[in-house]
Each structure stands twice: as C-alpha cells, then as structure tokens.
Amino acid sequence: MSADLAHIDTWLFDLDNTLYPAESGFMGEVEGRMTTFVAKVTGLPTDQAYALQKRYLEEHGLTLRGLMLDHGVDPADFHALFHDLSLQVLAHDADLLAALERLPGRRLIFTNADAFHAERVLSHLGLHHLFDDVFHIDSFGFRPKPDPAAFTAMLDAHGMAPDATAFFEDSERNLAPAAALGMTTVLVGAHAAASPAPFVHHRTEKLAPFLATARLRETRR
C-alpha cells in the first residue's frame, strides 16, 4: 500500500546510505579511513581505535564530535580524509531521480557530513540540481544528528513547519527527534522492516519505489 504523504511540502533527506544503498560499500571505505585516523590521533592499536570510533558515534552521534572534545581534532583535518575517496561504487539511479522530481515543494539535505562531501556525492549521483539546500555539519555548529539542537537550528534556518515535513534516514535513532518535533519519519534500508520503533512512521527497503508510489499533495497546473 502506498504511503499517504499528501500533507508534505518539505522533503528532508539524509545523504549517505539513504540516497544510495548501503550495499554499495562506500561507507565501509569511509569507516576504514576513519579508524586509521583515530589510531594516529590516539596512539591506539587498530582494534581499540575502532572500538573508540564506535563509542564516540554512540555517545555523540558522530565520531568527529568525540575527537573534537577529547583530542582537540580540527574538523577540517578530519573531513579532508574523505575528499578524495573514489565514488565509482555509487551508481546513478534513474528511478530515484524521477521519484525525487515528482515531489512537490522544497527538497533539502540534512547530513552529518561536511559541505564538500555532500556536494561531491550529490553531483556524482546526478541529483544536485534537485535540492534547494544542503544543511551540513558546519551549519549547526558540529552538533550532529540526533542532537535536538541540530534539528532546531535546521528548522529555524529554513522556516520549516514540522507537521508538513517528511524526513528520510537510514539511522533509526536520528528519526526520534524528528518525530518528537512532529515530522513524518521514514526509515530507509534493508533493516527498516525489522524496526519496532514507534517514532518510525514508514519503513522501506528502497527509496525510489516508496517515493514513486506515495500519494502526494496536488499541485496547480
């Protein structure tokens, strides 16, 4: 059954593992470089560096946040790690492009990545022209999702009405503050169907068919 999204006029999307499938393996490359960096900064062996990386992610929503607080890491140095990663594993998706094009209203990106990464990935996917703005980690003072302060900053910056906004994410916990604010939430990915979270309103393995079949607000011709 198609989702009823006729009340939505602002479409908010996470970037990585949402606008392309996690099965691409791209984020595995990101995590590998991150672990090497954490090991270098802390002097820990690789296995302990990886454990710390994951602990920071759990505690702060972003490994970078923990590195900034505990080790004084410059965000620019951290983000530069990923700026030359190959994007060849990220395939163009004509069905997703068509599904995004049919959405009435504003389309925005809300990502814990930096602006350079977001622009690079969107351009590679051929989706950059479809989005009105990118709200990236620099935009909200390096306080990442799921920090409610990041959501408040985004809403204020764009004058968004939560009850007319749909938020699409691959991370379940990042949907919790969105739902608390009144947004419609959509969990994306192979794991979505198994989520029991009451703050997840819709679940879909693949984004394109979900958007292509959703009931949308009628627009005047």
- Shared domain for 148 and 44, answered yes or no, is no
User: Please, are residues 118 and 19 in contact by the beta-carbon 8 Å criterion?
Assistant: no
Mean pLDDT, residues 65-83 taken together = 94
Distance CA 164, CA 64 (A): 31
**Could you tell me the residue range of the domain that residue 52 belongs to?**
26-80
Same domain, 120 and 65: no
Find the DSSP H helices in 107-168. Answer: 115-125, 148-158
pLDDT tens per residue, range 169-184? 999 999 999 999 999 9
Tell me: pLDDT of 220 over 80.
no
Q: Are residues 72 and 101 in the same domain?
A: no
- Residues in Cβ contact with 216 at an 8 Å cutoff, skipping those fewer than 6 apart: 5, 6, 8, 102, 103, 104
In this structure, is residue 18 part of a structural domain?
yes
Is 49 in the same domain as 141? no
What 8-state DSSP symbol labels residue 7? T
Q: What is the CATH number of the domain that holds 62?
A: 1.10.150.450
pLDDT digits (tens, 9 = 90+) for 98-132: 999 999 999 999 999 999 999 999 999 999 999 99
Q: Kindly give the interhelix angle for 148-158 and 172-181, rounded to the nearest 10 degrees.
A: 50
Residues 67 and 97 in one domain: no
Last residue within a domain, chosen from 44, 62, 80? 80
